[in-house]
Amino acid sequence: MGLKITVKTVVLTLGFIAVFAVGILIGKLRGIPFIHKQHGYSIGIYSGRSPFDLQPAADVENPVLSAKSVTDVPAEFVADPFMLIEDDTWYMFFEVMNTSTNQGDIGLAVSSDGFNWTYKQIVLDEPFHLSYPYVFKWDNKFYMIPETLQADSVRLYEALDFPLNWSFVKELITGEYVDSSILHYDEQWWLFTSKCRNDVLHLFYAKDLTGAWTEHPQSPIILRDANIARPGGRVVIYNGQPVRFTQDCDPDYGIQVRAFLITKLTTESYQEEEVPMNPVLRGSGSGWNAQRMHHIDPHQMDDNQWIACVDGYKQVIAFGLKF
């Protein structure tokens, strides 16, 4: 079969080359790359028999949420999902990287079964970057502790009208902390957090959620170890013991997720041990989570079933001027 080249094909090809060349030229003049890497985080659903043995959920087309799911703001990616169930409806909160402001907002999706999700809207937008929206219920009230690094504090929010309307309550601790993860255990509140570093983990405790927080005498409980320090999702109770998840940031940021069983947690002492199944999450090598996974939020459905929202990353090459 002979190759047939029409005038229209030639014109379109030359036009594309011209636009591409002009874009590269303008990018060089302004110091802005025309070809650039975009963050490719999206969100999936995993399930299994324990929080350490999770696989992509059957009959679910992952990712269940991506930047394309977001309808009310221009989004580069979605990440850091946390969810809870209330009155037979699942609610998921997550970071939406808003390309119009170049900062994170907190988005909401809902589900009737925990497996199939529908994006709703942005529910929290501040003048500073938001991510890692750790949501939980306490005393019949809904709270959120998102990462607010640029606000130089760990901030507590309460839902005035769940799940859409959130109001700032108070600063729990001050400082440049990231990915703060909270737990109520043994009649105390515990806060695991990293101070703007991937190789240090701090621990705080308080008797009351909105009361005074004290740094643990052994804090930082992890020092100079980027493989196991930075929090990577909800702290859960498994067989009566707390489990913390950590994102492995060595040699690169957030390459996989590990789990640690907390064997001693008092106001004087802290001990933990790594679970033998580690890493509990890692990149699949292809698709939406090809290169890395750095977050998990597991929930127990019944004695033999766990469900988790997770995020995954693949590198995306984009064309155009990124301002």
CATH code at position 100 = 2.115.10.20
What is the domain extent for residue 250? 41-308
> Could you give phi then psi for residue 28, rounded to 5 degrees?
-65, -40
Q: Is the pLDDT at 17 greater than 80, yes or no?
A: no
Mean pLDDT of 34-59: 86
Distance CA 260, CA 52 (A): 10
* Peptide bond between residue 220 and the one before it cis (omega within 30 degrees of 0): yes
Give me the pLDDT at residue 197, please: 85
Q: Does residue 25 lie within any of the structural domains?
A: no
What's the whole-number mean pLDDT along residues 254-273? 98
Q: How far is CA 290 from CA 40, 80, 97, in A?
A: 10, 17, 20
- DSSP at 69: G
Task: Report the relative pairing of strands 141-147 and 292-302 from DSSP bridges.
Answer: unpaired
pLDDT tens-digit readout, 215-239: 999 999 999 999 999 999 999 999 9
pLDDT tens digits, residue range 106-141?
A: 999 999 999 999 999 999 999 999 999 999 999 999
Please state the domain count of the chain.
1
Q: Is 67 left (phi over 0), alpha (psi -120 to 50) or beta?
A: alpha
Is 96 a domain residue?
yes
Q: Confirm if 323 and 32 have CB atoms less than 8 A apart.
A: yes
126 φ, ψ (degrees, to nearest 5): -120, 170
User: How high is the pLDDT of residue 21?
Assistant: 45
Rounded to whole angstroms, the Cα distance separating 202 from 177 reads 9
Residue 99 covered by a domain: yes
Enter the tokens of residue 240.
């009566």
Domain-located, residue 20 = no
Cβ pair 301, 84 in contact under 8 A: no
pTM: 0.87
**Measured CA distances, 97 to 68, 74, 296 (Å):** 12, 8, 19
- Asked if residue 12 is part of any domain, the answer here is no
Question: Looking at the domain assignment, is residue 114 inside a domain?
Answer: yes
Pair type for strands 41-50 and 305-313: antiparallel
188-194/178-185 β-pairing: antiparallel
31 in a structural domain: no
Please give the C-alpha separations between residue 85 and each of 65, 109, 136, in angstroms, as whole numbers.
Answer: 18, 12, 10
Total Cβ atoms within 10 A of residue 225: 15
2 pLDDT above the threshold of 70: no
SS3 of residue 227 by DSSP? coil
d(Cα 140, Cα 85) in Å, to the nearest integer? 13
CB 261 within 8 A of CB 268: no
Q: Residue 23 burial by CB count (10 A; 0-12/13-18/19+): exposed, middle or buried? A: middle
Question: What pLDDT was estimated at residue 238?
Answer: 97
Closest CA to 309 of 39, 60, 40, 38: 60
Mean pLDDT for all residues in the chain: 90
Please write down the long-range contacts of 34-39, taking CB distance under 8 Å and 24 or more positions apart. Answer: 34/319, 34/320, 34/321, 35/317, 35/318, 35/319, 36/317, 36/318, 36/322, 37/315, 37/316, 37/317, 37/318, 38/76, 38/77, 38/316, 38/317, 38/318, 39/76, 39/77, 39/97, 39/313, 39/316
Whether residue 77 contacts residue 69, with contact meaning beta carbons closer than 8 Å, is answered with: no
Mean pLDDT, range 160-164, rounded to an integer: 98
pLDDT in the model for residue 322 = 47
* 270 occurs within a structural domain: yes
